[in-house]
Amino acid sequence: MLHGKRVLVSGVATRDSIAAAVVERAVRAGAEVVVAAYPKDVCAAQEVLAGLPQPVEVVAVDATSESDMTMLEDEVRHRWGALDGALHAIAFAPRSALGSVMDAPARDVELAMRTSVWSYAAFGRLLQRLAPPSGASLVGLDFDSARAWPVYNWMGPCKAALRSLNGYLARDLGCLGVRANLVAAGPLRTRAASGIPDFEVLVDRWDRQAPLAWDPADGSGVADAVCFLLSDLARAITGEVLHVDGGMHAMATYLRENPAGASPEHG
């Protein structure tokens, strides 16, 4: 599905990273892949990627740094001359931004936004400069931001901003044949998730309400959707948010009778 595609993947930190599953699948689907890892995660990323059928180079990039992003652009241009696809799988919020939204210091919210949102535009610029005439595909990772979740706090507004930005990138990159799409994933137990206090509350919601069974330890369905969006099969899709969440996004919030006849629980 990705034969001959030159793809840049960010966000590999552990074996559980969604991006690690994407690299594995993209390589199997025929892509050439370079990974851009946060400098502190470079060694861990190299370890995670060691067993792949083809070697994958890891470049150290802090996606909040304009100079690192310029260096990444130079690196890709030098290596391939052009880029067919990129996955943005980057998010971070300081602990203080994951408690009450009213208590978070402005500088911590700024860092969360810069890391989780601004960097998506920086990846868009990379493709603006490096896309071949045949076009390219940018994919980012979302968590349903249409509703206020019990524990997500400032990551919610970050994802809402990411979703809005996705539309603007689709608008501005379409003339180059560059597509911008998000995959909105259900909760997966990754390192980023472990930083969210009471993340298991979300897992529990999915367990009770998602129409399809949802395994929070299996990011492969999300990775497959990312590979689809990177591929030419999705050539007519841009500005889209593809939900890979077991159908949870389509469910109304509802009061469900407790089968044992006790008081109804709020869904």
- Please choose, out of 1-9, 88-96, 98-106, 254-262, the segment that lies near ligand NAD by the rule CB under 6 A: 88-96
- Please choose, out of 11-19, 69-77, 78-86, 164-172, the segment that lies near ligand NAD by the rule CB under 6 A: 11-19
> Which one of residues 25, 38, 87, 165 is an interface residue with ligand NAD (CB under 6 A)?
38
Q: Determine if 121 is a binding residue for ligand NAD (CB under 6 A).
A: no
Taking the least distance from each CB to ligand NAD, the nearer of 8 and 63 is 63
Taking the least distance from each CB to ligand NAD, the nearer of 66 and 257 is 66
- Please choose, out of 27-35, 52-60, 135-143, 224-232, the segment that lies near ligand NAD by the rule CB under 6 A: 135-143
Q: Determine if 14 is a binding residue for ligand NAD (CB under 6 A).
A: yes
The least CB distance from residue 92 to ligand NAD, in Å, is 4
Place of tokens 């892949």: 33
Taking the least distance from each CB to ligand NAD, the nearer of 135 and 181 is 181
Residues contributing to the site for ligand NAD (CB under 6 A): 10-14, 17-19, 38, 41, 61-64, 89-92, 115, 141-143, 185, 187-188, 190-193
